[in-house]
């Protein structure tokens, strides 16, 4: 297949591109830094610097949309919220316009979302039938998904990737946590009761490939492992794998003072279950957090 990917130079995208090239697909990666594409995605990947290069006569068999500016890295000012919106909702809408205008439309559109769709739901187990939440992150994910569903109106199969915390040895969340934990300064966040719905990157890519190839798959999928952990459990498990103590606590008031509104990403959570993927018979390679972290950290 000839596949168009957005977000291909990111943490998930790099791993996905390797897997797709191994399957001998032709890849075009949309990136505002096209020179980085062959370096990060593989020498077999082509770069697209602007979506305007996708003319109606150009054909893609599938589109995978993983783009989105990091949601936790900067304060949620009005300007930053607009950047987050544009990199997700607006870009997805532009992709759908190109899909709709294509002379031969792609068979499938796999589009990113996040477990933040569900908002802060405490200890409730959430499958794909659960309603959207009511904070900024939830509204962002809901609009993101609504934009992607526009491709269904022109007969394209759409899968919505409600992504959890992707664990990888190449950066991301785990990369940010490693240094303080290795120094014995790992800390529980607040009361530690908030759920962290995680997934090993190998399972994430395998699930995505399954959705790509399964002509019957459509709608939302929770892209998470079947055994979520709360923050206290996650903290203790990472410290155990690294053979370091983790006695510290980052108080909730301090996090709120330092991070403002986006502190909700640290202090609130969702207990998300991969209901539809499990029902489809997907077998997780890493369903246990300790095993996943040990694998990624070479322990």
Looking at residue 80, what is its pLDDT? 97
Cβ–Cβ < 8 Å for 53, 95: no
Looking at residue 77, what is its pLDDT? 97
Q: Does residue 263 lie in a domain region?
A: no
Q: Does residue 146 lie in a domain region?
A: yes
Looking at residue 13, what is its pLDDT? 97
Measuring CA to CA, which residue among 227, 242, 245, 230 is closest to residue 285? 227
Range of the domain at 18: 2-164+198-224
Q: Does residue 134 lie in a domain region?
A: yes
Residue-by-residue pLDDT tens, the chain, 299 positions: 999 999 999 999 999 999 999 999 999 999 999 999 999 999 999 999 999 999 988 999 999 999 999 999 999 999 999 999 999 999 999 999 999 999 999 999 999 999 999 999 999 999 999 999 999 999 999 999 999 999 999 999 999 999 999 999 999 999 999 999 999 999 999 999 999 999 999 999 999 999 999 999 999 999 999 999 999 999 999 999 999 999 999 999 999 999 999 999 999 999 999 999 999 999 999 999 999 999 999 97
Q: The whole model's pTM is what?
A: 0.96
User: With the C-alpha atoms ordered 257, 261, 263, 269, is the resulting torsion angle positive or negative?
Assistant: positive
Domain total for the chain?
A: 1
| 195-224 burial code (b ≥16 CB/10 A, e <16) | bbbbbbbbbbbebbebbbeeeebbebbbbb
Q: Does residue 286 lie in a domain region?
A: no
Angstrom distance (rounded) from CA 25 to CA 174? 30
Angstrom distance (rounded) from CA 226 to CA 271? 10
Q: Does residue 156 lie in a domain region?
A: yes
Cβ–Cβ < 8 Å for 6, 68: no
Query: Given the DSSP bridges, would you call strands 271-272 and 125-126 parallel, antiparallel or unpaired?
Result: parallel
CA distances from 21 to 13, 94, 115, 126 (A): 12, 26, 28, 34
Q: Does residue 68 lie in a domain region?
A: yes
Half-sphere exposure of 250 (CA within 13 A, CB side): 19
CATH number of residue 220's parent domain: 3.40.50.720
Q: Does residue 24 lie in a domain region?
A: yes
Q: Does residue 247 lie in a domain region?
A: no
Q: What are the structure tokens assigned to 194, written together?
A: 């908030």
């Amino acid at each position: 297949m000839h596949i168009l990917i957005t977000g291909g130079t990111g943490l998930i995208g790099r791993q996905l591109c390797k897997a797709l090239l191994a399957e001998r697909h032709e890849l075009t990666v949309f990136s505002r830094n096209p020179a980085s594409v062959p370096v990060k995605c593989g020498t077999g990947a082509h770069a697209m610097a602007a979506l305007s290069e996708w003319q109606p006569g150009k054909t893609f068999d599938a589109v995978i949309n993983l783009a989105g500016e990091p949601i936790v890295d900067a304060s949620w000012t009005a300007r930053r919220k607009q950047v987050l919106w544009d990199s997700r909702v607006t870009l997805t809408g532009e992709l759908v316009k190109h899909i709709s205008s294509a002379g031969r439309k792609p068979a499938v559109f796999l589009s990113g979302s996040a477990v933040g769709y569900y908002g802060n739901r405490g200890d409730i187990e959430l499958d794909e039938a659960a309603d959207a939440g009511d904070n900024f992150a939830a509204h962002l994910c809901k609009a993101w998904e609504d934009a992607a569903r526009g491709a269904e109106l022109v007969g394209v199969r759409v899968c919505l990737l409600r992504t959890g915390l992707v664990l990888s040895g190449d950066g991301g969340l785990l990369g940010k946590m490693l240094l303080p934990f290795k120094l014995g300064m790992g800390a529980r966040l607040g009361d530690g009761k908030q759920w962290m719905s995680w997934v090993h990157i190998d399972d994430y890519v395998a699930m995505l490939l399954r959705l790509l190839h399964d002509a019957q798959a459509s709608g939302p999928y929770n892209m998470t492992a079947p055994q979520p952990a709360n923050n206290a459990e996650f903290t203790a498990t990472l410290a155990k794998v690294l053979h370091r103590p983790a006695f510290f606590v980052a108080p909730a008031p301090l996090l709120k003072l330092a991070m403002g509104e986006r502190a909700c990403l640290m202090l609130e959570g969702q207990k998300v279950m991969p209901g539809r993927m499990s029902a489809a018979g997907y077998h997780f390679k890493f369903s246990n957090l300790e095993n996943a972290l040990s694998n990624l950290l070479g322990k």
